Structure 1
Amino acid sequence: MSTSKLVKGTFLIIIGNFIFRIGGYIYRFLMSRMLGPEGYGILGLTMPFQGIFQILAAGGLPPAIAKYVAEYMVLDKKEDARAVLYVSMKLMILLAFIFSLVIFFTSPWIACNFFHKPNAILPLQAVALILPFSVIVGVFRGLFQGIYKMEYIVVTRFVEQVGIIIFAAILVVLGFYVVGAVIGTALGFLVSLIASLIVFKKYLADDFTYPKIDFKKEIKIAKMLLNFSIPVILAALSEMAIYDIDTFLIGHFLPTIYLGYYSAADPIARLPLVISISVATAALPAASEAYSLKNKKLLEDYVTQSYRIVMLTVLPICVGIAVFASPVISLLFGSQYVPGAEPLRILVMGMTFYTFFVVSSSIIQGVGRPSLPMYILFFGTILNFIFNWFLIPIYGMVGAATATSSATFIIMLISMFKTFEVTGVKPPFSAFTKIIIASLLLGIILSFLPKTIFMLILMVFISPVIYTIFLMVLKGFEEKDIKLIRKAGRKMGPLAKYIDKIANILEKFIS
């Protein structure tokens, strides 16, 4: 695998995650207006439970599928790759059945005893309908990731998001209120499952027929998968806690309407994760292959480029969101949600820190150290809970955002240090510094502009030019960046000559 394959995979997953996020924003946009702050607050309370129980039902197995399928395919052990796929599917179907029952029967206690919101019982119980469909979709996406068919992930994500939006909107209009929004999500995963089966049967069924393995070997494979996936699932649960402890404790300490405001700020703050998760998805099998082949130079390229791609793209986006928090939240959710702008300014910086942890975690998993992210996240979860518990009663939503951002900053530092340690790669401090300075300079300019929706839209188009100029002056581009720009430009038809001219200009300012 070459660096260009990593970039191609990252680009495709960015498209898929962009579709997922945009679809998520459209869903939230519609639901926030159709349900109002109170109803949207209840929906915001169910969303973390959707994520938590989807992780539990999946058993942490999709990353394990991706890792072992990628490893066995590159080593030409196709029968083992098939075995991994089908054993994983059996495990995940069993877990989905168990946890569907758990969430259904525990929902009354959770809604009434912890959140003191009885109207959340039915929406929480409806989460049980999502799990059977979502886990099987997870099996196929783990396979697609492992064989580096990221375009299949893009297709199934698109179908999923369209289905969720359409079904949820119809059910809410029909009078099912918050329960309808949750059931719409279940139906979206159902159509995504159908799309995954169609793709699998058409393109992969011949290569991934059911393997001839006995029960003892199935048990052996299951143990191998669980040894890898248990740290992954614990890390994923801790990741959900990093995301959602603030939401849970706001639901515990504050009235539902504040939960509605914070639930509007939270998805906007997570926008940078579109890029980091995309890079991480491509980096895991890439790092696994490089590590398996003992190719130190290739591993070093993957690690440094993964961080640079995230830093180049994420930092200016986060700066822009922080500066234009009020018009951003007003544009996406309406003026009645503007009280969420203050926590958004803080929370988006916390999610910036978290993006670097996501990439670090994926690289560490790819080189066979899945327990490290688990330990780091577990530590961060404890910190996040403590910070939120004490700050929310005093500072409300701003306290929640501050607590989460402080915890993510700490785990970012620890995870990046450990990534460079376990891979033996030296951090490119000079490259990082230039990108940080360019982003801060952009933020200073934006801070002097009027905070209106018109100016926000205008700066969406102008800011990239300003940021690029700062990077050019600081010599923040590298030779490999220019090569990638030229390669991409050659595939853009009539735009190719203009892309090449831009590359020629940038080439004069490389470090």
Structure 2
Amino acid sequence: MPQPSQSFMRGTFVLSVAAFVNRILGFISGMFVARMLGAEGIGLLMMAHPLVPLVITITELGLPVAISKLVAEADARGEHAKVRRILHVSLLVTGFLSVLLTTVSLLGSEWIASILLSDQRAYYAMLAITPIAPIVAISAVLKGYFRGKQRMQAIAASDVLENTVQIACVLALVHLLLPHGLAYAAAGAMAASVISEASSLTFLLISYKLRGEAKLPGETWAHSLRRGKSTLTELLRIGLPTTGHGVIHSLYSAFQPLLITTSLAAAGVSTAMATKQFGMLAGYAFPLLFMPSFITQSLSTALIPAISEAAANRNSLLMHKRMDQAMRLGLQIGAPATVILFVWATPLTTLIYHAPEAGILLKILAPMFFLHYFDAPLHAILLGLGRAGSSLWNYIVTTIFKVIAIFVLGGELGIVGIAVGLGIGIVIQTMLDFFSISGTIGFYWDIRPYVQVAVSMMVMLLSGQWALGVLEGMGLTMLGSMLGSAGFALLVYFGVLSLTNAWSRRNRRILT
């Protein structure tokens, strides 16, 4: 059996590679769909989607996080019957709830649409995505099981398969349905997500069947469920606080399109233009902002059981080492990504989406989004420490401030104010999570690497702006100017890091 450090880093590496492939596939798919549907069509997609996470959150009851923790503990003790019991109880609960809530959502779809959708053309897309809830909920349970068993390869392969199937289906269905109207094309894109999730679930089920737990003589599902009351209690004790966070997030996400379009209406923006501007923000700017965070997201997935194990063993040194790993990785990923997204915002949105007007939104959000690369690991650390309640309250406070900021700034400044309001939410969330961790176990860090990276970022920004201006003055194409100046800026960035010894052997060793 691999050592905990090896399992943690190996799991992070496997998930990071898969996440990188998935981000590339998803980005390519999103780019083509954005070009085919335009900002208005992407706006319809973004409006139709938020109801589904709410249904999924309620059906999961936070069980995937609880499953990974309890399965890891039971597996370490050799309690294989309990591992199967955890899985059986979780599948029964999520399966029943997801089918029930999905049925209710489908039957009440017109009423829900009349409340949540500011543009009723998104109704068909909302209808098409609703059946995905049971599929995703059951997949999440199986992924929780595989995380607990430290079998990240199965999760990684299923995610790659899902994105591969989606990129084929979404392009085919959008192309087929676009002649019938934008609303039907958006529904086709949503239906492609259902098909791809079904393929991922099929793979996970086959993987479990091939390498799942061997049953003891006379052991059945009924036998597991008869003894499942205590298991369900354990699962809910861990999962319910996480569910509260998810419910608040899903409710906010469901009403966010309505909040944004209402704020834009107060600024004098028409419904069609509000849908288009929301599409630029959610469909153009945010995919670029989230693109570099696949490594920190993968790290977060592996952090929860790693921190839980260290906390259970009262290994303070290991906990702080994991925290330092997470923060430094967020720093090293977020720093150059932030500069690139800020300096080359307009060239990126122009070349990828043919939407130069989205560049200003990306430029506004990029500096504040820098903290997002730290927030995902910080949230995972809180969960690993058993502080799901603190994470929930931090998110509630953040959401209140964010709603106020969006409504006030959006009404005064339009879509630019909304972008600023969303950025403020990211800053508040990250700071609250950081203070919660510091108040629990303290936080010890060497500030020198952060100062060195800050200096390197500033030099990269100035050299990148200078190189971009020079290459544009030479008459190069936008693509040539962007690639040349960005490449030069990255060389300068890594050169300054080397000169400041930020990548010394001592600093690199902390990441191994």
- TM-score, length-scaled by structure 2: 0.87
Contact 1:105–1:125 (Cα < 8 Å) also in 2: no
Aligned partner of residue 196 in structure 1, secondary structure = helix
Residue range with higher mean Cα deviation, 256-265 or 245-254:
245-254
Closer, same or farther: CA 116–11 of 1 in aligned 2, 3 Å: same
Closer, same or farther: CA 312–147 of 1 in aligned 2, 3 Å: same
- CA deviations on 1:112-138 (whole Å, 9 max, x unpaired) are 344332211121122221112111111
Write the distance in 2 (CA, Å) between the matches of 1:183 and 1:379.
35
Q: CA RMSD in A?
A: 2.5
- CA deviations on 1:59-84 (whole Å, 9 max, x unpaired) are 22211111211222233333322222
Write the distance in 2 (CA, Å) between the matches of 1:23 and 1:207.
38
Residue range with higher mean Cα deviation, 85-94 or 377-386:
85-94
- CA deviations on 1:418-437 (whole Å, 9 max, x unpaired) are 22332344233333332233
TM-aligned CA deviation for residue 223 of structure 1: 2.2
- CA deviations on 1:308-328 (whole Å, 9 max, x unpaired) are 111111221122111111111
Closer, same or farther: CA 87–458 of 1 in aligned 2, 3 Å: farther
Instruction: Give the equivalent residue in structure 2 for 1:497.
Output: none
- CA deviations on 1:170-217 (whole Å, 9 max, x unpaired) are 222222411111111000001111111122222234389867855563
Instruction: Give the equivalent residue in structure 2 for 1:493.
Output: none
Q: What aligned pairs does 1:285-364 form with structure 2 within 5 A after superposition?
A: 285-333=305-353, 335=354, 337-364=355-382
Write the distance in 2 (CA, Å) between the matches of 1:360 and 1:242.
21
Contact 1:60–1:230 (Cα < 8 Å) also in 2: yes
Percent of matched pairs sharing the same residue: 23
Write the distance in 2 (CA, Å) between the matches of 1:25 and 1:219.
43
Contact 1:3–1:302 (Cα < 8 Å) also in 2: no
Aligned partner of residue 475 in structure 1, secondary structure = coil
Write the distance in 2 (CA, Å) between the matches of 1:61 and 1:188.
23
**Selected match of 1:366 from 369, 380, 384:** 384
Q: What aligned pairs does 1:41-56 form with structure 2 within 5 A after superposition?
A: 41-56=43-58
- TM-score, length-scaled by structure 1: 0.87
Instruction: Give the equivalent residue in structure 2 for 1:494.
Output: none
Contact 2:398–2:428 (Cα < 8 Å) also in 1: yes
Instruction: Give the equivalent residue in structure 1 for 2:505.
Output: 479
Instruction: Give the equivalent residue in structure 2 for 1:15.
Output: 17
Write the distance in 2 (CA, Å) between the matches of 1:191 and 1:217.
32
TM-aligned CA deviation for residue 93 of structure 1: 0.9
Write the distance in 2 (CA, Å) between the matches of 1:459 and 1:105.
54
Contact 1:283–1:302 (Cα < 8 Å) also in 2: yes
Instruction: Give the equivalent residue in structure 2 for 1:261.
Output: 280
Aligned partner of residue 271 in structure 1, secondary structure = helix
Instruction: Give the equivalent residue in structure 1 for 2:468.
Output: 450
Paired residue type of 2:335: L
Closer, same or farther: CA 132–212 of 1 in aligned 2, 3 Å: closer
- CA deviations on 1:399-429 (whole Å, 9 max, x unpaired) are 1110111121122112112223323442333
Aligned partner of residue 256 in structure 1, secondary structure = helix
Write the distance in 2 (CA, Å) between the matches of 1:172 and 1:75.
50
TM-aligned CA deviation for residue 396 of structure 1: 1.6
Equivalent pairs, count: 484
Paired residue type of 1:289: E
Q: What aligned pairs does 1:123-134 form with structure 2 within 5 A after superposition?
A: 123-134=125-136
Q: Are 1:251 and 2:271 an aligned pair?
A: no
Closer, same or farther: CA 38–304 of 1 in aligned 2, 3 Å: same
- CA deviations on 1:217-252 (whole Å, 9 max, x unpaired) are 312221221221121122234445777765442334
Residue range with higher mean Cα deviation, 392-401 or 178-187:
392-401
Instruction: Give the equivalent residue in structure 1 for 2:436.
Output: 418
Write the distance in 2 (CA, Å) between the matches of 1:359 and 1:97.
32
- CA deviations on 1:77-114 (whole Å, 9 max, x unpaired) are 33322222221111111221132134324432343344
Instruction: Give the equivalent residue in structure 1 for 2:79.
Output: 77
Instruction: Give the equivalent residue in structure 1 for 2:456.
Output: 438
Paired residue type of 1:231: P
Write the distance in 1 (CA, Å) between the matches of 2:165 and 2:509.
39
Paired residue type of 1:184: A
Paired residue type of 1:312: Q
Contact 2:459–2:492 (Cα < 8 Å) also in 1: no
Write the distance in 1 (CA, Å) between the matches of 2:250 and 2:229.
29
Write the distance in 1 (CA, Å) between the matches of 2:418 and 2:122.
22
Instruction: Give the equivalent residue in structure 2 for 1:276.
Output: 296
TM-aligned CA deviation for residue 481 of structure 1: 5.2
Write the distance in 1 (CA, Å) between the matches of 2:366 and 2:107.
35
Aligned partner of residue 477 in structure 1, secondary structure = coil
Instruction: Give the equivalent residue in structure 1 for 2:269.
Output: none
Closer, same or farther: CA 159–368 of 1 in aligned 2, 3 Å: same
Write the distance in 2 (CA, Å) between the matches of 1:241 and 1:475.
46
Q: What aligned pairs does 1:141-156 form with structure 2 within 5 A after superposition?
A: 141-156=143-158
**Selected match of 1:225 from 223, 232, 235:** 235
Contact 1:264–1:329 (Cα < 8 Å) also in 2: yes
Write the distance in 2 (CA, Å) between the matches of 1:56 and 1:458.
48
Write the distance in 1 (CA, Å) between the matches of 2:329 and 2:208.
31
Write the distance in 2 (CA, Å) between the matches of 1:33 and 1:229.
40
Write the distance in 1 (CA, Å) between the matches of 2:334 and 2:21.
17
Closer, same or farther: CA 477–97 of 1 in aligned 2, 3 Å: same
Contact 1:323–1:345 (Cα < 8 Å) also in 2: yes
Q: What aligned pairs does 1:392-403 form with structure 2 within 5 A after superposition?
A: 392-403=410-421
Write the distance in 1 (CA, Å) between the matches of 2:382 and 2:297.
14
Aligned partner of residue 270 in structure 1, secondary structure = helix
Contact 1:268–1:348 (Cα < 8 Å) also in 2: no
Instruction: Give the equivalent residue in structure 2 for 1:236.
Output: 246
Contact 1:420–1:427 (Cα < 8 Å) also in 2: no
TM-aligned CA deviation for residue 283 of structure 1: 0.8
Write the distance in 2 (CA, Å) between the matches of 1:438 and 1:22.
27
TM-aligned CA deviation for residue 374 of structure 1: 0.9
Write the distance in 1 (CA, Å) between the matches of 2:227 and 2:58.
24
Contact 1:82–1:211 (Cα < 8 Å) also in 2: no
Closer, same or farther: CA 159–215 of 1 in aligned 2, 3 Å: closer
Write the distance in 2 (CA, Å) between the matches of 1:212 and 1:465.
62
Write the distance in 2 (CA, Å) between the matches of 1:444 and 1:244.
40
Instruction: Give the equivalent residue in structure 1 for 2:193.
Output: 185
